[in-house]
Amino acid sequence: MESEIIFIIALIIAVAAVYWVVLKCAAEKIATQYQLLAERFGLELNQSAVKIGGFIRPEPSVYGNYRDREISISVPGKGLQNTRQIESVLKLELKGSQLSAQLTAAGPLGGLRQRDSGGQARWKSGDERFDHAVDVRTNQGGALAVLITEERRKWLTDTLKKSKATLYIGGDNLAYARLGLIANEATRKDFEAAAEFLCDLAESVEA
């Protein structure tokens, strides 16, 4: 009986050790990508200390100014629609605009994301490829039509369809929210491209 107890304790310790190593490796990959984001945009990197001996490792974040506006990339404290689906969110300051819209990939997940669109109607641009791929909700279709040029529609179609991300416009900011964590180069580069796109879009909104 005593040997069985020792075996169970040893097994628990081994499982905990493997879990700790996995967490550490994953956290290091994410931290590396955020460090690169901070260097790319000249932002401050925030990394909270680990807790409970490394079993809790808060996600890093970056914050600062880029192209004369506030920008941040972080992981909110709650999941999508209060689920366990974690999002990484890029937020960009938007100055003096009343425009409100949400754009996401069309489909079941897009419908879930649009539940918090405030009852805004679905808007269609007339571009069949874009309208089929992207679910847009806004009550200011005329203003949005001026901003979403053919080049931007192409970027949004390709990006939102691939990443299943959502673009939010309103509340004094633009936000690009994507499921998952920034743990590899491909995802980091997507966020870098999104930051440039949002900066260009913000300048057009404010013009």
**What is the pLDDT, as a whole number, of residue 47?**
79
Rounded distance, CA 53 to CA 24, Å?
Answer: 11
- Mean pLDDT, residues 81-99 taken together: 79
Element (H or E) spanning 203, and its range?
Answer: helix 185-206
Residues 6+ apart with CB under 8 A from 30: 59, 60, 181, 182, 183
Rounded distance, CA 25 to CA 183, Å?
Answer: 10
Instruction: Specify the amino acid at residue 139.
Output: N
Q: How confident is the model at residue 50 (pLDDT cuts 50, 70, 90)?
A: low
* Per-residue pLDDT at 71 exceeds 90: yes
- Residues listed for the chain: 207
Which of 53-57, 106-110, 150-154, 155-159 is predicted with the least confidence, judged by mean pLDDT? 53-57
Q: Cα dihedral sign for 67, 36, 87, 159? A: positive
Output 180 or 22, whichever has higher pLDDT.
180
Q: 162-198, pLDDT tens digit by residue? A: 888 899 998 789 999 998 899 899 999 999 999 999 9
Q: How confident is the model at residue 207 (pLDDT cuts 50, 70, 90)?
A: confident
Question: Could you give the percent of the chain with pLDDT greater than 70?
Answer: 76
Contact in structure between 132 and 161 (CB atoms under 8 Å): no
Mean pLDDT value across the chain: 82
**Positions of E strands within the chain:** 44-46, 61-66, 69-74, 87-93, 101-105, 122-123, 134-138, 166-170, 173-179
Rg (CA), the chain: 21
The closest alpha carbon to 163, from 101, 202, 109, belongs to 109
**What is the pLDDT, as a whole number, of residue 97?**
81
* Per-residue pLDDT at 26 exceeds 60: yes
Which of 15-19, 119-123, 149-153, 188-192 is predicted with the least confidence, judged by mean pLDDT? 15-19
- Say whether 107 sits in a helix, a strand or coil: coil
What is the pTM assigned to this prediction? 0.83
